Chains A and B, each alone.
Chain A
């Protein structure tokens, strides 16, 4: 036998060797790196170092979760949408009405309720809209969110209109931890939810499903050629993303104790888009970096002058787009190989 006609036994050996090699590669790529503990350590440190900023901290954590949900479809599946606030809003109202209308104030069920309602909304709109791309998709997602907001205003007896639903007071977490003025418990609650959400997203992203999503982002035609059910993959990813955005919204309603139709504002969709791009889309932790950067900058710069803040964020956006197509830390992440397939080009 020569090299061109290998014997069956050596073939099997080669295949086994290659499989072992592949498994090993995936295991190495997918393992939890030490550096991944960093954001959580920083978050806990913030709890002790900035005890008076916990309401801002809690809002930042919620924004991180929101941006993370967007990352799933924007960073990994490459779908650009201007209407993600719709699912945030649906989740928020779901959690709110569970408490104020049905009187069920257990917090976790509020999150689940928000997630399920938002996922349903995501499934329906995704099924309808994900056949489109480009400007059409941008305008369609934008329009559906605005129409949702106006629908909310139409049924103002239900939603409270622009004054919203106040008094969303959740019961103590696990029956043990009550909530204080400074937002300490809210912060830890949100942190816990974020931890679970990140773990879930990480598992999805590193699974074969996640790999298929990246394939869709990189080369849709090829995925079609491979026989991959492109549309359904996208709809499922979109549904999961909407559900996560719903959790973020529900968390917002519970910690803010007031939800208004403003959750559907275009500002909300634009802000989460900006946060994600600032931090870098397509590598999960970009959401963390971007949201923290945006929220802290907004808080601090606005104290100097609100016009200053708006100018500053505009300038930062332009700089980020022109100088680094991968967000503030995207390039660094590539270098450190924290990102499995490279950030979005």
Chain B
């Protein structure tokens, strides 16, 4: 390939080469040759743009979906890593959060954003009751017992909410500034999903700060690392468990409230999405916020890509990816053996 040896080959170089090759022809039909060249270049750019567009779509949609998974799963991951409890009722806390947000916005006229904060606080406080009475019995219990007790709790929650709210799907009215689209250059993105990504990012930042820069965060990290050592150093592990469980459940409730606009809300929400949260926690490694984030991103984006590109078998992707990762790293991406 001719061309300067000192600079890297660029797109224009190839065009230039083709130009030189076609030079003899163009002597006879310069206009024709020029138009062929131009259309070929146009088609190439168009296809390039289409591919780029697809990639951007997949990344954006995948990111929004990943944020939803992250917000709900991070609480589950931390409580599992910290307390060693498999909490299959985590989805029920998310569902409860959703119903609280719905009731607050519809019946009490509370603005949407405020109701999200309220649901976080209320569910966090209520979960303390459950932690002190039921979950405290599960520390040190066998995995099977934990699975069954929390499934039982889920069932009771679903039955209770069906009784009070009925089985019909609920919807909320999000404020108008969260609807519609946001235009960034040539593309537009749904505003609500941008909002979801922003909330997710803010949460990551807040959690990072909480874990790395605060006293409480340090205690949590220490206890996840080595509980006995932490206890002997004087950390009140029981109080820590309660606090972490509350934060985790509160975050689940927040995620549930955010999810209504995305997925709708029925009492069955508690169990039908539980599979995804378990996938994220297992793939990320329990006890690790970064692990949950990495897993949520990987699984969320792969799920979206699979659905976009191979809709026939698209739902396969998330499970296949999870299984592959777990086969190689059973403790998860950021997990510890």
Q: Check whether chain A touches chain B (CB < 8 angstroms).
A: yes
Seen from chain A, the residues whose Cβ lies within 8 Å of a Cβ on chain B are 74, 80, 82, 128, 131-132, 134-136, 138-140, 142-144, 146-147, 150-151, 154, 266, 270, 273-274, 277, 281, 307-311, 313-318, 320-322, 325, 345
| Shortest distance between the CB of B271 and any CB in chain A (Å) | 8
Q: Which of A128, A138, A281 contacts B278 (CB 8 A)?
A: A138
* A146, B319: Cβ atoms closer than 8 Å: yes
* A150, B159: Cβ atoms closer than 8 Å: no
| Shortest distance between the CB of A137 and any CB in chain B (Å) | 8
* B143, A134: Cβ atoms closer than 8 Å: yes
Please count how many residues in chain B sit with their CB below 8 Å of the partner chain's CB atoms. 44
Residues of A within 8 A of B155 (CB): 310-311, 313-314, 317
* B159, A147: Cβ atoms closer than 8 Å: no
Number of A-B pairs whose CB atoms are under 8 Å? 113
* A277, B331: Cβ atoms closer than 8 Å: no
* B313, A322: Cβ atoms closer than 8 Å: no
Residues of A within 8 A of B80 (CB): 135
Asked whether any CB of chain A lies closer than 8 Å to the CB of B330, the reply is yes
A277 and B326 CA atoms in complex are apart in Å by: 28
| Shortest distance between the CB of B146 and any CB in chain A (Å) | 8
Q: Which of B144, B159, B279, B282 contacts A308 (CB 8 A)?
A: B159
Residues of A within 8 A of B331 (CB): 136
| Shortest distance between the CB of B53 and any CB in chain A (Å) | 28
Residues of B within 8 A of A322 (CB): 134, 137, 149
Query: Majority SS of interface residues in chain A?
Result: helix
The 5 A-B pairs at the shortest CB distance, nearest first, are namely A317-B152, A314-B155, A311-B159, A314-B156, A139-B282
Query: Majority SS of interface residues in chain B?
Result: helix
| Shortest distance between the CB of B192 and any CB in chain A (Å) | 28
| Shortest distance between the CB of B243 and any CB in chain A (Å) | 23
Q: Which of B152, B281, B282, B320 contacts A314 (CB 8 A)?
A: B152
Interface residues of B in 110-163 (CB under 8 A from A): 134, 137, 141-145, 147-149, 151-160, 162-163
Asked whether any CB of chain A lies closer than 8 Å to the CB of B316, the reply is yes
* A146, B275: Cβ atoms closer than 8 Å: yes
Task: Given A128-B327, A136-B331, verify A314-B144 contact (CB < 8 Å).
Answer: no
Task: Given A136-B326, A140-B326, verify A313-B152 contact (CB < 8 Å).
Answer: yes
Residues of B within 8 A of A147 (CB): 316, 319-320, 323
A147 and B326 CA atoms in complex are apart in Å by: 15
Asked whether any CB of chain A lies closer than 8 Å to the CB of B286, the reply is yes
